[in-house]
Amino acid sequence: MMTTMKRPFRLAMALMATAISFGFAGESARAADVTIKHAKGEATFSEVPKKVLTFDLAALDTLTALGIEVSGVPAGNKPAYLSKYASENVAKIGTFFEPDYEAVNAAEPDLIIVAGRSSAKFDDLAKIAPTIDLTVSAEQFLPQAQENVRTLGKIFGKEKEAEALLEKLASSTADLKAKAGQQGKALLVLTTGGKMSSYGPGSRFGMLFSDYGFVPAEETGAKGTHGNPSSYEYILEKNPDWLFVIDRDAAIGRDGAARKMLDNEVVGQTTASKNNHVVYLDPVAWYLVGGGITAMQNTVDDLSKAISTN
């Protein structure tokens, strides 16, 4: 009697253990390896990374939108929707430019993400753990940023969620681009430390023209990360219908002074100022987060709202 009672019990326990084992394995194991391309080559993942460190806020933005927790981030200013990563409970792994290698090692990551400012540290970080580089170029900002969203979706098994977010972004971006080209000429300036620079097509912020469809007031802009030194007189000379402003000081957590700088008689003579078409862009989204899916969607929404209410 005792034997017949133990046998089904043992069988049930064995089946339960097997089910639990498969359940845990299903969280990290894959049916097949996943290989992705990034700016420094390719990477293959046989499991979903559990401990992720990112030096790139765009990746942090997208991972958060996909429901992926990140274990370590650089210190520094972050948008409100990523404020939980300012908590002391989240490991701080250095700055956007310089990793804290001791902190990175201590975190024992399964994946490290770099891009842009941190891209130069790829080789050093790759010695610690699998590392990918999600840098995007100014000339191909939107296509490459969209591909990065797909890449992260693929790594973490969130392809459907990524595509849903991208479809919404593509639709709203197409609507914006169709309207932006009819708004007259636009000029984009960045302020910092009491100085200004302008950014035209092909520059760091050239997506305003190439991807979002605004007509540039200046045809030749500085390439790469640095703009052309600018002045109030230059703004008046170009006399844009729309003036878009990025306050770098506000982006990095300092007291922003862009509004005070541009509230003067010279800028006041421009068509943009007279028509209330001076738009202060979200500085963190433009200067720090860039190609994150939430930042891109917010940017398109903000630009669409600006031209629809003026």
128: CATH: 3.40.50.1980
Is 162 within the bounds of a domain?
no
HSE, side-chain direction, 13 A CA sphere, residue 43: 22
pLDDT value of position 139: 85
Is 8 within the bounds of a domain?
no
More confident residue, 3 or 104: 104
Is 150 within the bounds of a domain?
no
The tokens describing 260, both together, are 């005070």
Our count of domains for the chain comes to 2
**101 pLDDT above the threshold of 50:** yes
* Residue ending a domain, choose from 81, 107, 135: 135
Based on the fold, state whether residues 208 and 295 are members of the same structural domain: yes
Based on the fold, state whether residues 184 and 97 are members of the same structural domain: no
User: Which of 43-47, 219-223, 255-259 is the most confident on average?
Assistant: 43-47
Is 244 within the bounds of a domain?
yes
Determine the distance from the C-alpha atom of residue 146 to the mean position of all C-alpha atoms in its chain, rounded to a whole number: 10
Is the dihedral angle over the CA atoms 206, 208, 213, 217 positive or is it negative?
negative
**Residues β-bridged to residue 185:** 215
Is 21 within the bounds of a domain?
no
Based on the fold, state whether residues 206 and 119 are members of the same structural domain: no
How far CA 224 is from CA of 51, 160, 202, in Å, comes to: 33, 34, 8
**231 pLDDT above the threshold of 50:** yes
* Residue ending a domain, choose from 105, 135, 165: 135
More confident residue, 64 or 17: 64
Report residue 244: phi and psi, to 5°: -105, 135
More confident residue, 309 or 61: 61
Based on the fold, state whether residues 295 and 185 are members of the same structural domain: yes
What's the rounded Cα separation, in Å, for the pair 198 and 265? 19
Based on the fold, state whether residues 206 and 281 are members of the same structural domain: yes
The tokens describing 295, both together, are 């930042």
In this prediction, residues 103-129 reach a mean pLDDT of 96
What's the rounded Cα separation, in Å, for the pair 137 and 142? 9
For the chain, list the strands marked E by DSSP. 29-38, 41-47, 52-54, 72-73, 91-92, 111-114, 131-133, 185-192, 195-198, 215-216, 228-230, 242-247, 278-280
Task: Name the nearest CA neighbour of 272 among 179, 200, 173, 188.
Answer: 188
Based on the fold, state whether residues 293 and 184 are members of the same structural domain: yes
* Residue ending a domain, choose from 114, 135, 156: 135
Is 156 within the bounds of a domain?
no
Based on the fold, state whether residues 189 and 110 are members of the same structural domain: no
Q: How confident is the model at residue 1 (pLDDT cuts 50, 70, 90)?
A: very low
The pTM score is 0.86
DSSP state of 214: P
Is 157 within the bounds of a domain?
no
Based on the fold, state whether residues 184 and 303 are members of the same structural domain: yes
Q: Residue 100 belongs to what domain range?
A: 31-135
More confident residue, 273 or 76: 273
pLDDT value of position 14: 44
Residue type, 297: Q
What's the rounded Cα separation, in Å, for the pair 269 and 273? 7
**Residues β-bridged to residue 189:** 198, 245
More confident residue, 169 or 222: 169
The tokens describing 290, both together, are 């860039």
Cβ-in-10-Å burial (0-12, 13-18, 19+) of 152 comes to buried
**6 pLDDT above the threshold of 60:** no
Based on the fold, state whether residues 189 and 83 are members of the same structural domain: no
Task: Name the nearest CA neighbour of 76 among 260, 304, 254, 286.
Answer: 254
Based on the fold, state whether residues 186 and 106 are members of the same structural domain: no
What's the rounded Cα separation, in Å, for the pair 124 and 133? 12
Alpha-helical (H) ranges within the chain are 2-28, 57-65, 101-107, 122-126, 141-155, 159-180, 207-210, 232-238, 248-251, 258-262, 265-268, 271-274, 283-284, 293-308
The tokens describing 273, both together, are 């100022």
Is 226 within the bounds of a domain?
yes
